[in-house]
Amino acid sequence: MYRIVNKKSLNPTVTMMDIEAPLVAKKARAGQFIILRVDEEGERIPLTVAGYDREAGTVKIIFQIVGATTEKLNHKNEGEFISDFVGPLGLPTDIEGLKNVCIVGGGVGCAIALPVAKALHEAGCRVTSVIGFRSKDLLILEDEFKEVSEELFVMTDDGSYGRQGNVCVPLNEMFSEGKRFDKVITIGPLIMMKFVVEATRPTGIPCDVSMNPIMIDGTGMCGGCRLTLNVDGKKVTKFACVDGPDFNGYEVDFDEAMSRGMMYRDFERHAHDEACNLFKGEVR
């Protein structure tokens, strides 16, 4: 059993927790993920390691309440326990030798982007961060990004905070000004990552993407995170959870990944609604 040490609501649909898991905290690195079960009969879900404290033995997770399991997890409070917390899994983000990097995060994907930005900053890299949200109400982790970024752009679709527009606006501006980076790393909704990759492609700057959004069971057995890469004119199949979650964005077939991601939307919504009904009238 793993104790919830801290719990904080970041916005109406996103929650942050610190989980007491010393063995995981000891080895976790930016870009990796864990698999958890809320209870012994619950489903297994992968969540990215959003941070860790090796001394305290805690691992930070940030999740969006979109399905039945995240709804159940959100009903857990500080001092309560979850059944399973396994990791770290996946390959850590490769930051070796990078001196000047642009991090582009969208929505709850910023929870994945932050530990990467922090690791780069701690390694002496100059970090430029671009984070985007639909509106001010959904903004998360702005102060945390400020701490690890030499330059930070905050974008909202409706202009309710920061600058109006998507994350490609400041990215294209920087490219037009002739700014160069060792690498662009983007993490967020698939459609956002696709457009960031296409904006970066003409510059020839390497562009990595995190395919965490398509993972389901996190072990490679379900096939849900199957990914097609176009490598030197040949189609190559990889699995986000065991071969990633980071990949060369120029090689990813985003259209196929987005099509597959739509398959379970109705099922997940139904499961979420059922979970909500279970908690109606419950006094906590």
- d(C-alpha 240, C-alpha 251), whole Å: 13
- Confidence class of residue 274 from pLDDT cuts 50, 70 and 90? very low
At residue 77, the pLDDT reads: 94
At residue 271, the pLDDT reads: 44
Range of the domain at 172: 93-210
Q: DSSP letter at 135? A: S
- Confidence class of residue 25 from pLDDT cuts 50, 70 and 90? very high
Tokens at 192, concatenated: 């956002």
CB contact at 8 A, 199 and 168: yes
Sheet arrangement for strand 84-89: 81-82, 2-11, 14-20, 58-64, 45-53, 33-37, 84-89
Range in 152-156, 160-164, 224-228 the model is least confident about: 224-228
Where among 60, 89, 118 does a domain terminate? 89
Question: Residue 187 sits in a domain of what CATH number?
Answer: 3.40.50.80
At residue 212, the pLDDT reads: 79
Q: Tell me, yes or no, whether 32 and 139 share the same domain.
A: no
* Domain total in the chain: 2
Tokens at 246, concatenated: 């980071």
Mean pLDDT of 187-213: 93
Query: Is 104 inside a domain boundary?
Result: yes
Q: Tell me, yes or no, whether 122 and 175 share the same domain.
A: yes
Q: Tell me, yes or no, whether 158 and 81 share the same domain.
A: no
The strand pairing partners of 184, in sequence order, are 102, 207
On average, the pLDDT of the chain sits at 88
Of 127, 254, 241, 248, the closest CA to residue 189 belongs to 254
Mean pLDDT of 215-226: 67
Range in 182-186, 260-264, 280-284 the model is least confident about: 280-284
Q: What is the pTM of this model?
A: 0.84
Q: Which helix (H) or strand (E) holds 124?
A: none
Mean pLDDT of 207-226: 75
> Quick one: angle between helices 190-200 and 254-261, nearest 10?
170
At residue 244, the pLDDT reads: 75
- pLDDT above 50 for 144: yes
CB contact at 8 A, 82 and 73: yes
Range in 5-14, 147-156, 171-180, 217-226 the model is least confident about: 217-226
Question: Residue 26 sits in a domain of what CATH number?
Answer: 2.40.30.10
Range in 32-46, 84-98, 100-114, 222-236 the model is least confident about: 222-236
Q: Which long-range contacts (CB under 8 A, 24 or more apart) does 156-160 make?
A: 156/132, 157/132, 157/133, 158/134, 160/135, 160/136
CB contact at 8 A, 242 and 220: yes
Q: Tell me, yes or no, whether 117 and 187 share the same domain.
A: yes
Q: Tell me, yes or no, whether 112 and 12 share the same domain.
A: no
Q: Tell me, yes or no, whether 132 and 185 share the same domain.
A: yes
- d(C-alpha 140, C-alpha 39), whole Å: 28
- pLDDT above 60 for 270: no
